[in-house]
């Protein structure tokens, strides 16, 4: 299977930090600089950096930059880090998301700031654009759901979504094997984003529920492969 751009960037950044190309306390190049170096989109680099932050490799200070943390903060054995997500675990993840994310979409519509809502809509648009270009869309996909969590103004929800980012990435790899799955997801994302933009909490909740139900139906097809 061809390595995804997001996986390649994550692996290369991890290797460079572990080899101390950037030493503890050192500031990393800008998002735009890293995107140019690796010849990928900014959203792809941003998602890799988020995962590295979750694993303790980096600290990201908004407005200042990204800095390498010392080795004693690094985590290699996260409970959500998997190289292959079994179908049974995939359904457990979907069950968890089905309980939480529709409510989060409603809360985002009610509580999200204009800037946060703009981030949600932009992530939905980037995913559509990436799909049309045939580019790696996973980063925009995951960012969309994380932005919704951040717009809930609930720190626990935001941390939970970031904490399962590895699981979400692996689930995307699984369902991407189903023809048309990504295109349907991008369509639902934009509908959800528009409902949130309109401050229509009930519609945002309904659209997120429909999106996750559609993902579940696609996942059922994995049992047959």
Q: What is the pLDDT of residues 87-115, one digit of tens each?
A: 457 788 889 999 999 999 999 999 999 99
Res. 34: pLDDT tops 90: yes
In the chain the domains, ranked by start, together with CATH numbers, are 5-73 (1.10.10.10), 87-222 (1.20.120.530)
pLDDT of residue 78: 44
| pLDDT class of 76 with cuts at 50, 70, 90 | low
152-206 tens-digit pLDDT: 999 898 888 877 877 787 788 778 888 899 999 999 999 999 999 999 999 999 9
C-alpha–C-alpha distance, residues 102 and 108, integer Å: 10
- According to the per-residue pLDDT averaged within each range, which of 49-58, 76-85, 115-124 is highest? 115-124
| pLDDT single digits (tens) 126-162 | 999 989 988 778 878 988 998 999 999 998 988 888 7
pLDDT of residue 223: 66
């Amino acid at each position: 299977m061809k390595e995804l751009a997001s996986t390649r960037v994550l692996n290369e950044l991890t290797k460079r930090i572990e080899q101390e190309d950037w030493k503890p306390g050192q500031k990393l190049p800008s998002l735009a600089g890293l995107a140019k170096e690796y010849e990928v989109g900014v959203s792809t680099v941003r998602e890799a950096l988020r995962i590295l932050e979750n694993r303790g490799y980096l600290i990201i200070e908004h407005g200042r930059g990204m800095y390498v943390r010392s080795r004693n903060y690094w985590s290699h054995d996260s409970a959500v880090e998997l190289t292959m997500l079994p179908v049974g675990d995939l359904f457990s993840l979907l069950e968890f998301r089905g309980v939480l994310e529709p409510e989060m979409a409603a809360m985002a519509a009610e509580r999200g700031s204009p800037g946060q809502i703009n981030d949600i809509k932009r992530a939905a648009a980037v995913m559509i654009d990436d799909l049309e270009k045939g580019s790696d869309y996973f980063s925009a996909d995951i960012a969309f759901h994380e932005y919704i969590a951040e717009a809930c103004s609930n720190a626990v929800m935001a941390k939970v979504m970031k904490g399962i980012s590895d699981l979400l990435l692996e689930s995307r790899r699984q369902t991407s094997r189903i023809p048309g799955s990504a295109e349907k997801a991008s369509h639902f994302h934009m509908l959800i984003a528009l409902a949130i933009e309109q401050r229509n909490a009930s519609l945002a909740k309904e659209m997120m529920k429909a999106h996750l139900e559609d993902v579940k139906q696609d996942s059922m097809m994995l049992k047959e492969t």
